[in-house]
Structure 1
């Protein structure tokens, strides 16, 4: 018989989950008290939070608990990296139905812990409650290591636009899953567990990045946030993007232009940054466009408005494939 959260109770579930969360040198006090205590060398703490709701952000028949743990941690750690900081810790709050299998929650904890451990970060606490809908809220903390944060508002005319990480893979995997398929495995795997170039964020900050953002809602949509905050015009060069064979083949099979996934797809959590034109781009960064004056807030492709989907918009009509 499958053991559920209701069988072990709240504190039994907490005991099972916290067993996955070892401390790191920055953790003075972890799970088990009223609050956690984290040591920071620079005195500055970068913080962000994100929420995942079943049926809105993931499906349990598409993703295991461990997959969702990786995704939840990656979404937050990418935001920390996009500020030029090193991720250090996670706080996790969950609302779970009593009949949810305990193994699913333990998988969630394992995924969170595994994503954190590759960065030397730790899960330091959180909260639990019962609810009809499975909901996961994650807060990430990071250390700027004495540097100033890289904001969205610093891009200047003449800067170059650069990308670190893969883009469009998770969106392609989502389309594959929504059509009832499970392959290509590389695309489906990218949707389930993003591969985020975390170290590219701090390295970009060191090399003088003027603005930076993580790509969660889509390349054009997120680049638009920088364009609006910086009051500049951003233009992308489509020839800078090489479409992998498995993405091109999937596009042909599913009737989707792969550039729709690249320009409008989110959830890969690649990093996008602008740099002064005379900067030698750090490793992992690829030039994909330029920043110009005029038409503040505009984002174009090859000098023209993109005619397809621009990216994800919360509070729009829910995707029926996730219900």
Structure 2
């Protein structure tokens, strides 16, 4: 793709010219009969239910330009949507992307966003099949992604299926994104060169997308994407299922230990318990023999309601879009 000059803003081009600069970033994938450029996309989906989710990101609220490039924003947008599909036991198939931006936004920002989103989606055989482009007030950029997935004959794995006696396990990391955010906030001006992996975990989080299907096939009774913090998301499963999700502090220790050197002991524990935007998968399985390879057991499900640590019921902590 030809990159636009850095001094060209969205408002310097017509909508058609902007789309002409962006749409080549989105590769065709199987199952897309009509892709971007028409009034709507036409998809050839497998028989059975379609899983749908949507997430939005707002400049200044979900990212700041001092830390995040357009490519970082695209990577995070993709991950948070695919993780939601994975948490239902679904395989992602396609995306709809809507962007509202200040006309003064550089066209190069939008092209970089599209190239990163398109390449990452294509690597997972996910099609970017359409969306919307709109102007917005001064300084505003809002990105909204709707993702679709297929279940391939499986039942969806919801939050409300856990039962007392189940084993609690996680696939992926805990606390790394939150630790990366702490490092960025401490430095103020940019990433800490001493811990680039943690900063990258916040700017461009990865999700174990294929493991959602693995968990579903292994008989997972409940599952959730850890997007708002382990305690908060475990509490959501507990309340939806009418059970107590009891986490064991000793089993969380390896995750805490991995962060101590970067953020200190107290902050490391808080990152693991309450850190958001991790996008790992938290699932419950009928017994220890049902936990797939690569998943880390964190505790058990007991009679009660909500979330606990070592048997002590704990108030959920983590990200809340309105309460902070």
Asked if these proteins are the same fold (TM beyond 0.5), I'd say yes
Please tell me whether the aligned partners of residues 216 and 268 of structure 1 are also in contact (alpha carbons under 8 angstroms): yes
Corresponding residue of 2:232: 221
Please tell me whether the aligned partners of residues 156 and 232 of structure 1 are also in contact (alpha carbons under 8 angstroms): yes
Deviations along 1:258-316, whole A, 9 cap, x unmatched?
A: 0100110011100000000153321221110100012x2x2111122447x71011112
Q: Tell me, yes or no, if structure 1 residue 74 matches structure 2 residue 79.
A: yes
Corresponding residue of 1:247: 259
**Alignment map for 1:170-185 (pairs within 5 Å):** 170-179=177-186, 180=188, 181-183=190-192, 184-185=195-196
Corresponding residue of 2:150: 143
| Residues 1:128 and 1:163: Cα distance change in structure 2 (over 3 Å) | same
Deviations along 1:207-231, whole A, 9 cap, x unmatched?
A: 1000001011111101111101100
Structure 2 Cα separation of the partners of residues 114 and 196 of structure 1: 16
Task: Count residues in correspondence.
Answer: 312
Corresponding residue of 2:19: 14
Q: CA deviation at 1:73?
A: 0.8
**Alignment map for 1:65-144 (pairs within 5 Å):** 65-132=70-137, 133-144=140-151
**More deviation, 239-248/269-278:** 239-248
Q: Normalising to structure 2: TM-score of the pair?
A: 0.92
**Alignment map for 1:1-323 (pairs within 5 Å):** 2-132=7-137, 133-179=140-186, 180=188, 181-183=190-192, 184-241=195-252, 242-243=254-255, 247-252=259-264, 256-277=266-287, 279-294=289-304, 296=305, 298-306=306-314, 310-317=317-324
| SS of 1:259 mapped into structure 2 | helix
| SS of 1:49 mapped into structure 2 | strand
Q: CA deviation at 1:11?
A: 1.9
Q: CA deviation at 1:128?
A: 0.6
Please tell me whether the aligned partners of residues 173 and 255 of structure 2 are also in contact (alpha carbons under 8 angstroms): no
Please tell me whether the aligned partners of residues 182 and 263 of structure 2 are also in contact (alpha carbons under 8 angstroms): no
Please tell me whether the aligned partners of residues 68 and 111 of structure 1 are also in contact (alpha carbons under 8 angstroms): no
Structure 2 Cα separation of the partners of residues 33 and 200 of structure 1: 34
Structure 1 Cα separation of the partners of residues 64 and 267 of structure 2: 25
Please tell me whether the aligned partners of residues 70 and 114 of structure 1 are also in contact (alpha carbons under 8 angstroms): no
| SS of 1:283 mapped into structure 2 | coil
Structure 2 Cα separation of the partners of residues 142 and 266 of structure 1: 24
Structure 2 Cα separation of the partners of residues 10 and 36 of structure 1: 19
| Residues 1:245 and 1:285: Cα distance change in structure 2 (over 3 Å) | closer
Structure 1 Cα separation of the partners of residues 261 and 288 of structure 2: 38
| SS of 1:153 mapped into structure 2 | helix
Unaligned runs of at least 5 residues, structure 1: 318-323
Structure 2 Cα separation of the partners of residues 82 and 55 of structure 1: 28
Root-mean-square deviation over aligned CA pairs: 1.6
Corresponding residue of 2:3: none
| SS of 2:245 mapped into structure 1 | strand
Q: Normalising to structure 1: TM-score of the pair?
A: 0.93
**More deviation, 272-281/183-192:** 272-281
